[in-house]
């Protein structure tokens, strides 16, 4: 069954930047969608980047603000790499709108479409040759300076020491039971989606998107017996820092925290919907992007 429920499908186009190297592919995407009778909707922030370079046969609907609703679009096409897709998810996840990533970036682990065959991809998409993956999100509460800040992430929450002179000391609690005190450069709490990002580079395991768990991965930990640990996503993870200055990362956003803080991580009440074309899967992405099974024999 299709996920759209209008007589005319409306597709949103979203990107974080305009890249002249992919101008031809973006123009072809717009033309192909218009030829197929698809209504195009563009967030204002992205439209201002492309309006001088991309021609539309029909003026697209421009939407202001930082979120999109099902009344605006049926699906959001993310134009870029994985970082762009993370930003796209923040626009539509709460509304339950699926996101499809077109790899106009580099690694593109979450993206599913290649710009080399735009017309073929659009044809398969309109024939509903896709699956929709559900990706769990983490709700993040940060308490500092007597206030609490709430957000959600798709990949990970990370903390990292501010300078090279001292370690970051962090007490980690699972459901209010102390797990350990981590002394090192930092700590990562990742979703299954984020397990192939920062956590993986620090020795964390690869988790399938449907895994109902989170992974806690230390960064250059002083005690070598402290290894990554996988916990159920029903857990309440609490990080309490004993350092006055550190960097707090939420997906691709980072900020300097000047005082001690407490971070509470739980599973978000809603999830992200990510489209993969039927000839693509999480496991094919592992083989292609991480080169699992590749032979290096000359």
Tell me the C-alpha to C-alpha distance, in Å, between residue 162 and each of 46, 66, 114, 185, 207.
Answer: 33, 30, 38, 9, 29
Tell me the C-alpha to C-alpha distance, in Å, between residue 67 and each of 87, 91, 163, 249.
Answer: 11, 4, 36, 22
Q: Which helix (H) or strand (E) holds 188?
A: strand 177-190
Based on the residue annotation, tell me whether 82 is a catalytic residue of this protein.
Answer: yes
Alpha-carbon distance of 223 to 201, in angstroms, equals: 18
Residue 151, judged by CB atoms within 10 A of its CB (0-12, 13-18, 19+), counts as middle
Neighbours of 168 (CB within 10 A): 24
Catalytic choice (82, 117, 176, 251): 82
Alpha-carbon distance of 151 to 265, in angstroms, equals: 10
In 3D space, the residue among 62, 131, 69, 74 whose CA is nearest the CA of residue 94 turns out to be: 69
The token pair that represents 144 in the structure block: 């500092």
What does residue 176 show for φ and ψ, rounded to 5 degrees?
A: 70, 5
Tell me the C-alpha to C-alpha distance, in Å, between residue 163 and each of 59, 110, 145, 166.
Answer: 50, 32, 21, 7
Q: What angle do CA 57, 62, 68 make, to 5 degrees?
A: 125
Please identify every residue annotated as catalytic: 82
């Amino acid at each position: 069954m299709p996920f759209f429920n209008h007589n005319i499908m409306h597709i949103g186009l979203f990107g974080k930047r305009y890249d002249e190297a992919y101008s031809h592919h973006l123009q072809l995407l717009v033309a192909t969608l218009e030829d197929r009778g698809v209504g195009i909707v563009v967030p204002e922030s992205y439209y201002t980047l492309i309006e001088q370079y991309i021609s539309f046969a029909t003026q697209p609907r421009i939407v202001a603000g930082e979120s999109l609703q099902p009344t605006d679009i049926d699906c959001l096409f993310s134009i870029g790499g994985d970082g762009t897709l993370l930003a796209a998810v923040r626009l539509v996840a709460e509304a339950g709108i699926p996101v499809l990533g077109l790899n106009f970036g580099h690694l593109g682990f979450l993206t599913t479409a290649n710009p080399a065959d735009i017309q073929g991809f659009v044809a398969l998409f309109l024939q509903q040759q896709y699956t929709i993956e559900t990706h769990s999100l983490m709700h993040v509460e940060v308490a500092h300076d007597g206030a609490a800040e709430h957000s959600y992430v798709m990949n990970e929450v990370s903390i990292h020491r501010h300078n090279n002179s001292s370690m970051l000391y962090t007490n980690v609690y699972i459901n209010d039971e102390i797990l350990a005190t981590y002394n090192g450069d930092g700590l990562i709490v990742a979703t299954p989606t984020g397990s192939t990002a920062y956590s993986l580079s620090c020795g964390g395991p690869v988790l399938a998107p449907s895994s109902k768990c989170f992974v806690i991965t230390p960064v250059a930990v002083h005690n070598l017996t402290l290894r990554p640990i996988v916990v159920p996503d029903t857990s309440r993870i609490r990080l309490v820092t004993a350092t006055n200055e550190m960097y707090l990362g939420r997906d691709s956003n980072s900020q300097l925290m000047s005082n001690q803080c407490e971070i509470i991580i739980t599973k978000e009440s809603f999830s992200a919907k990510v489209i993969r074309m039927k000839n693509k899967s999480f496991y094919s992405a592992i083989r292609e992007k991480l080169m699992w099974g590749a032979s290096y024999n000359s």
